[in-house]
Amino acid sequence: MLGACSSPTASLPTLASTQAGPYRVGAGDKLHIVVQDLTTADGDYIVEDTGAISLPYIKQVNVAGLTYREIEQGIAATLLRQGIMTGDPVVNVGPVELRPFYVVGEVNQPGQFAYRQGMTVLAALSAAGGYTYRAQTGKVAITRQVDGKDVTAQADETTIILPGDRIRVYERWF
């Protein structure tokens, strides 16, 4: 009798689609930064594994876990504090390239994939070639960084994914 079998995702909390919230920068993201009236600081910067970027004049700036707006405010405050600029520095930060997401388990082409804004689990699974015939369809596990910690939860195909998410498709029990 197989009625007592349960799925590996059954004991996981549910990851709500609404948890997407404002994007928070992480290691591996590539950012474009423009500082008005300080063109030597303008350019593309990759967030290092330490969570920092290196800017001219102000050296290391920790940006991991911050929103674009928080990074803009932090750079502006540092420019003022160090006397590099006066008045009200105008800083603009935006994405060039975001961290990839990963799909593993019972998909036809597991691996690393380029993230696109607004992607769902279904789009991510499609990028990975779809489910194998052994896959438990409909529910997956997503591991995501939340406040600097890995959190694993179950999600369905409509859940919005984020850069850096690790999606696992489990084998179904026959």
pLDDT tens string 19-33: 556 788 998 999 999
Give per-residue burial for 124-143: e unless 16+ CB within 10 Å, then b. Answer: bbbbbeebbeebbeebbbbb
Are 107 and 161 in a shared domain?
A: yes
Are 80 and 132 in a shared domain?
A: no
Using DSSP, state whether 27 is helix, strand or coil: coil
Confidence of residue 15 (pLDDT cuts 50, 70, 90): low
pLDDT on residue 155: 92
Enter the pTM of the model: 0.74
Using DSSP, state whether 162 is helix, strand or coil: coil
Distance CA 105, CA 19 (A): 24
Residues 140, 135, 164: CA angle, nearest 5 degrees? 35
Are 68 and 108 in a shared domain?
A: no
Judge whether residue 2 has pLDDT over 50.
Answer: no
Distance CA 156, CA 92 (A): 35
Q: Which residue, of 97, 112, 133, is where some domain finishes?
A: 97
CATH assignment of the domain containing 118? 3.10.560.10
| Average pLDDT over the chain, rounded to an integer | 88
Are 55 and 104 in a shared domain?
A: no
81, part of any domain: yes
13, part of any domain: no
Residue 152 structure tokens: 């694993």
Are 37 and 92 in a shared domain?
A: yes
Judge whether residue 3 has pLDDT over 80.
Answer: no
Are 156 and 125 in a shared domain?
A: yes
Confidence of residue 4 (pLDDT cuts 50, 70, 90): very low
22, part of any domain: no
148, part of any domain: yes
Are 104 and 153 in a shared domain?
A: yes
Q: For 73-127, what is each residue's pLDDT tens digit?
A: 999 999 999 999 988 999 999 999 999 999 999 999 999 999 988 899 999 999 9
Which residues form the domain of 85? 30-97
Are 106 and 165 in a shared domain?
A: yes
Domain count, the chain: 2
